[in-house]
Structure 1
Amino acid sequence: MASKSAAPAIEVAVGEHTVRVSNPDRVYFPETGATKLDLVNYYLSVGDGIVNALRDRPCMLHRFPKGLPGGKVHQKRLPGGAPDWIPTVELYFPRYGRTADELCVEKLADVIWAVQMSTVEFHPWNSRRFDTEMPDEWRIDLDPMPDCPWSRVQRVAEVAHEVLDELGAVGWPKTSGGKGLHIYVRIAPEFGFQDVRRAALAFAREVERRAPKDVTTTWWRKDRDPHQLFVDYNQNARDHTIAAAYSVRGIPQATVSTPIAWTEIPEIHPTDFTIKTVPTRYAALGDLHAAIDEAIFDLTPLLEWANRDNLEVDLDEET
C-alpha cells in the first residue's frame, strides 16, 4: 500500500515578504493533531504580541524538525539557508570561545520563517541588540518544584505582586506554558547581568521571608523541598533564556506562555491557554503586555537590599 504523500508547500504572505512553508500537514503535536500549518496560523493570529515580546532581542530557538516525537534541537546559531532579510545579532560565548549569529526579530515574517524552520518555542535574551551586555528586563520566574500545587503558585504570585507594589515596580505576569508563572519588569539598561541577578536575588529573598512555607531560594535542587516554589533569580544570568510571551511550548497539549492580568491569577490554570484557545483570547483582549515599555523601574532599591544583606551570586551557578 502506498504511503500518503506529503501536502505540497504553500506560500504565506507576511507583510512585505513571502514565506514558503514546506510540509504544512506535518503533525507536530500528536496528542492534539496540531500541524506545522496550525503553528504558523497561531503565530499569525498573535503577530503583534509575539513581535513585541521578541523585538531586537537575541533569540534562541527550540526546534522540532520532526514534531515533538522527533525530539528538540536547542538552536543558538541561525539555521542555514536564511533569506537576506532575516535579521541577526552576533554574540560572543566565553564558555565556548566563539561567536554565533542569533535571530533578532524585527517583524512578523521573521517569526514565521523560524516556524518554517521547525521552531516551536522562542526564547529571547533579556537584553537587546543595541547593547547585549546590558539587560532591560528583570525576570521573576516562579518555578514550582515537582510536588508544588498550582494553588501555591497562585499564593506566591500575590506575595510577589505585593512586594513589587511596595517597590513601585510594575510587574507584567504571564503563564510559563508549563506549571509556573513568569513576571517581567522593564528596567533601564544601566546595569550588567551580575547586578540584575543580585537585585533579583534580593527580591526573591524578600518573597521567601514573607512566605517561608511556600517559597525557597535554595540554589541546589537536591536541597529544596519538593513541595515548595523556587523563585529562580538566575534566569537573569547572561545567555539564560525563558519562553517569550505568546511562545508555544513543546509539550503535548501545545500550551502557550500567555500574558495575563493580575486579577485573573486566582481563577486560571496554565492548561487554559493553548494554540487553540489563545487566538480567540487575543482577538478579544489584544496584547496585555503592549504597554510594557512604558513602565521603567530603577533597580537601585533592590541593589541596596542586596548590599545590606551582603548578597552575591556565583558566576558558576548552574541548574
Structure 2
Amino acid sequence: MASERVTLTVADPDGDREVVLSSPNKLVWPDAGITKAELAEYFQIVSGPFLAANGNRPVSLERFRDGVGSAGSRPDGFFSKNPPKGTPDFVDAVTVTYNSGRRHPQIVLNRPSAIVWAAQMNTIVFHPWASLATDPDNPVELRIDLDPQPGTTFADAVTAAHTLREVLREAGLEAFAKTSGNRGLHVFAPILPEHEFLDVRHAVIAAGRELERRMPEQVTMNWWKEERGERIFIDFNQANRDRTMAGAYSPRALPRATVSTPVHWEELDGLDPAAFTVRSIPARLEDVGDPWVDMQANPGRIDTLLDWWERDVADGLGELSFPPEFPKMPGEPPRVQPSKKVAAHWDENGDPVDA
C-alpha cells in the first residue's frame, strides 16, 4: 500500500513551488508528538533566519528514516553530503575539497523549498560549513564549541563564553552565541574570507589557549578525555575543514525536539536551552527577532589571533591533535592516549616507530 502523500506550496523568492511530502503524519519526535508535516511547517516559518545562517554553504544533512524515537532509545541516523539521486533542480550543489584531497559535490540550500525537500528526505539536523559555496576554501566564521564535560553544566559553559567574548574582542572580533541544542554553547565570530581552514583553526587554538590561561580551572584544551577533568572543553577541532556543528535554527535529534538557537548575550545567564524547541522557536522569533540578524554586517580579521599563535609557537606550544579521520598533519602530537603512550614507540615528529 502506498504511503500517504501531500503536496505543500512553498513560497520561494522566485515564486511558489510545490514540494511533495510523504508520510506527513509520521511521528518524528514521538515524545513531543511532532510529525513530519509539523517539521516541514517549522522550516517554512523559520526559513528566513535559517537561510541567513546556513544558506549558500556546503551543508551535510543528518537524516533519520525512523525519526528520533522516545527517550532512552538511540536514533539511527546517517549523513548525506552529496546530492542523492533524484535531487530536484531547486536544490543547489557545489564541488568542495575534503581533507583527503578528494573532490565531490555537496548540497547547498538557497531557498525555503530546498529546506522542505530536506525534511521530506527525513533530515533533522543540518550541518553547514563555515565557508560559503562561492568560496568554500576560506571560512567566513571563526567557530568555537564550548562542550561541557561530566561534572559541568550549561551554566559553566555560559561563564566561559562571557570570558571568551572578551578574549575575541581584544583580538578585534565580535562574538555571537547560540545554544547547541543539547548541553553546549557555540560562539561564532564573523571574519573576512582571507584565510583557509588551517589558519582559522590556528586562530581558534590561539583564542582557546588565551581563554585557558584566564580560566585554568574552568576550561581545557586537552583533546584526550582522560585529561579534561570537570572542565569545559574548548573543541578547537570544529574549526577544521569538513568538521561541522548543528546550524542555527536546526533541530536536534533529541526526544524534546530542541533547536540550536541564536541568543543575545544578555539572555545567557540563567538560560534554559531545553526551552528552545521546534514548537517554541516560531513564537520566539515573533517576540525577540533573530539575534544574529546583523551577524555578517562587520566581519573582522584574524591577524591578531595568528600573531598570538606564532607567539605561542615560539614559546614551545605547537600543533594540537587532529580528528582520527584526518591524515597525519605536520607537527601533530602522537595519536595515542597519554595513558597508553610508550615514549620509545614514537619519534620526535609524533610518528610511530617499530618497538
TM over 0.5: yes
Contact 2:99 2:242 in 1 (8 A): no
170, 174, 179: which is aligned to 1:170? 174
Contact 2:144 2:236 in 1 (8 A): yes
- Alignment correspondent of 1:281: 284
Q: Using a 3 Å threshold, how does the CA distance of structure 1 residues 222 and 318 change in structure 2: closer, same or farther?
A: farther
- 1:169-217 deviation digits (Å, cap 9, x = unpaired): 1111000101011011111111111110111001001111111111000
Output the amino acid matched with 2:91.
Answer: I
Q: Using a 3 Å threshold, how does the CA distance of structure 1 residues 71 and 149 change in structure 2: closer, same or farther?
A: same
54, 57, 71: which is aligned to 2:76? 71
Contact 2:98 2:241 in 1 (8 A): no
RMSD: 1.8
SS of residue paired to 1:62: strand
Deviates more, 1:112-121 or 1:13-22: 13-22
Structure 1 residue 86 corresponds to structure 2 residue 91: yes
Q: Note the 1:296-315 alignment, pairs <5 A.
A: 296-310=299-313, 311-314=317-320
Contact 1:10 1:24 in 2 (8 A): no
Output the amino acid matched with 1:156.
Answer: A
Per-residue deviation at 1:316? 4.0
Contact 1:138 1:187 in 2 (8 A): yes
Alignment length (residue pairs): 314
Between the two proteins, what is the percent identity of the paired residues?
36
Structure 1 residue 119 corresponds to structure 2 residue 123: yes
Structure 1 residue 42 corresponds to structure 2 residue 42: yes
Per-residue deviation at 1:94? 4.7
Output the amino acid matched with 2:115.
Answer: V
- Alignment correspondent of 1:181: 185
Output the amino acid matched with 1:43.
Answer: F
225, 250, 273: which is aligned to 1:247? 250
Distance 1:98 1:66 in 2: 31
SS of residue paired to 1:208: helix
Per-residue deviation at 1:223? 2.0
Distance 2:9 2:225 in 1: 45
What is the TM-score of this pair, normalised by structure 2?
0.84
5, 10, 13: which is aligned to 1:8? 5
Q: Using a 3 Å threshold, how does the CA distance of structure 1 residues 193 and 98 change in structure 2: closer, same or farther?
A: closer
Per-residue deviation at 1:315? 7.3
Output the amino acid matched with 2:31.
Answer: E
Contact 1:51 1:105 in 2 (8 A): yes
SS of residue paired to 1:230: strand
Deviates more, 1:40-49 or 1:238-247: 40-49
Structure 1 residue 215 corresponds to structure 2 residue 219: yes
Contact 1:76 1:100 in 2 (8 A): no
Distance 2:294 2:190 in 1: 10
142, 150, 154: which is aligned to 2:146? 142
Which stretches in structure 1 are left out of the alignment for 5+ residues? Answer: none
Q: Using a 3 Å threshold, how does the CA distance of structure 1 residues 83 and 6 change in structure 2: closer, same or farther?
A: closer
Distance 2:179 2:222 in 1: 23
Structure 1 residue 263 corresponds to structure 2 residue 260: no
Contact 2:155 2:270 in 1 (8 A): no
Structure of higher RCO (CA pairs closer than 8 Å, 6+ residues apart): 1
- 1:58-114 deviation digits (Å, cap 9, x = unpaired): 00000011212461011111222111221111123353x643321111111111111
Q: Using a 3 Å threshold, how does the CA distance of structure 1 residues 176 and 151 change in structure 2: closer, same or farther?
A: same
Distance 2:120 2:53 in 1: 19
Contact 1:6 1:25 in 2 (8 A): no
SS of residue paired to 1:309: helix
Output the amino acid matched with 1:228.
Answer: R
SS of residue paired to 2:205: helix
